[in-house]
Structure 1
């Protein structure tokens, strides 16, 4: 009995894989981050997506933390910053931090990654340079500028992470959380009971809490820049 003819596909007819590179690894990891969050950005999963072994990745990145830093910087490539101007320096600072906040919220997984890694690359440097320049316009320099910038970015990252988490929880889960505070025992927790409305106040859309928090941090930075060097170093 004759066997039916079967088409044999030559390996040479397959589309050639894009050569492995640092840029390709970072882009692939970023796509996995958007799809599965930081849990999907393991070295094993990145290697699988690239049809290679994890050991091949270590030629281009030292470890997962190193990769995370580059992926975060890649994500910051979408950040739009206005040109520095002679206008109100504080307003320029807040606009830049708000743009950073919005980007972290809009891009899945980026807010989570921002709390786990320090970005490495030109996009992060561009943001840092902009913030330092604006702070300098406000008379904040040296240690206060460096530490202050770090604190402001950390604050914005944490707010972005919280809002991104709320989006995942959904309105129903947030209603349960809010209800638990509304019905707290006033005898055991009198202060929480007395502030149960204020704890959940602040318009999320116009970012009342976010801007209030930045004002608080910035006022502290402005105060610290006038302290003696011996106090700043302690």
Structure 2
């Protein structure tokens, strides 16, 4: 008896990969003229949809259409949309390079891992939504958490604080990249690292505020300074510097 989708999912998690499932022969008039359906083919098609149309366009039916098959063919390999989400995030996490933890450079290292995650998510508009409210069992995703934990522990961060810090940092990266993708969608741009409106326009709006906003008017230059990635680095710094360490 062929393994169920749930058994396939469990096997993928043990192996840490979406590869290796034997592609069944296609049925119907097309026979073997089309490429076989595999987990890898499903993931690739899903990324293509997200890259071109955004994460909101991603459905199992949409992936099936891209592969010129029916949704039932996908369920032989992927349990459901949640399973597909986990595979997508796992594939992105597989591309993260984790450094050997260095007690002297731990701060730089953890920022670097977060920046890699940010850049991976920004390749596919809204893909970080797939990581929200998910308790992953994908080994590629868990590998990144393991690496981040090792870096924080090497830096002398207390274990409980390090454990919670991983969640906090991941949540911030997810939210940051999601906000950027929403802004890009509204403006019809790709990969923007700028304000929703220009800095000049923001300064004009602050200057036009009534006198009941004295601080906003006085510090408009500071409120609008820097790129979005500057603010990303600043926020990570606040989070990391606030972690408790042994006295």
**Fold agreement, TM-score > 0.5:** yes
Q: 1:69 to 1:191 in 2, by over 3 A?
A: farther
Corresponding residue SS for 2:157:
coil
- 1 or 2, which has the higher helix percentage? 1
Asked if structure 1 preserves the Cα contact closer than 8 Å seen for 2:43 and 2:84, the reply is: yes
Over the residues paired in the alignment, what is the CA RMSD in angstroms? Answer: 3.1
Q: TM-score, normalised by structure 1?
A: 0.74
Separation of aligned partners in 2, 1:202 and 1:116: 28
String of CA shifts for 1:51-110, please: whole Å, max 9, x gaps: 2222332333332222112112112233233333453211211122222222223x1326
Q: Unpaired runs of 5+ in structure 2?
A: 1-28
Corresponding residue SS for 2:210:
coil
Query: 1:16 maps to which residue?
Result: 33
Aligned residues: 211
Query: 1:29 maps to which residue?
Result: 46
String of CA shifts for 1:16-74, please: whole Å, max 9, x gaps: 32332333222211121111111221111001112222233233333222211211211
Asked if structure 2 preserves the Cα contact closer than 8 Å seen for 1:32 and 1:41, the reply is: yes
Q: TM-score, normalised by structure 2?
A: 0.71
For the pair 1:217 / 2:239, whether they are aligned, the reply is: yes
138-147 or 78-87: which moved more? 78-87
Q: 1:173 to 1:217 in 2, by over 3 A?
A: closer
Query: 2:121 maps to which residue?
Result: 104
For the pair 1:200 / 2:200, whether they are aligned, the reply is: no
Separation of aligned partners in 2, 1:173 and 1:160: 14
Separation of aligned partners in 2, 1:180 and 1:122: 49
Q: Unpaired runs of 5+ in structure 1?
A: 1-10, 227-234
Which structure has the larger Rg? 1
Query: 1:143 maps to which residue?
Result: 160
Q: 1:66 to 1:159 in 2, by over 3 A?
A: same
For the pair 1:158 / 2:168, whether they are aligned, the reply is: no
